[in-house]
């Protein structure tokens, strides 16, 4: 069974090892498997709140394709 964690600033204790938790990121809960390496860290470190967007160089023609008359 997975526990819901609403407090992102709480520290991860050893009793959470090998548990699956749902960490709330402000919009939706994010599933996270707790391992021994995560003990002592905060829950919020493992539930990102911002979306990763790849950098794109060509976003369309824009004004390059239009000619001034």
What is the pLDDT at residue 19?
Answer: 92
Band (pLDDT 50/70/90 cuts) for residue 14 is very high
What is the pLDDT at residue 38?
Answer: 95
Domains of the chain: 3-46 (3.30.860.10)
What is the DSSP secondary structure assignment for residue 4, as one 8-state letter? E
Sequence-ordered strand ranges (E) for 1-69? 3-5, 20-24, 29-33
What is the pLDDT at residue 64?
Answer: 63
What is the pLDDT at residue 23?
Answer: 96
- Whether residue 12 contacts residue 34, with contact meaning beta carbons closer than 8 Å, is answered with yes
pTM to 2 decimal places: 0.71
For 28-68, the pLDDT digits (tens) are 999 999 999 999 999 999 999 998 888 877 766 666 656 66
């Amino acid at each position: 069974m997975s526990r819901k964690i609403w407090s992102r600033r709480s520290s991860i204790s050893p009793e959470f090892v090998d548990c699956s938790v749902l960490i709330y990121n402000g919009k939706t809960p994010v599933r996270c498997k707790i391992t021994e390496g995560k003990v002592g860290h905060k829950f919020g470190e493992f539930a990102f709140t911002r979306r990763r967007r790849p950098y794109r160089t060509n976003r369309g023609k824009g004004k390059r394709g239009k000619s001034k008359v």
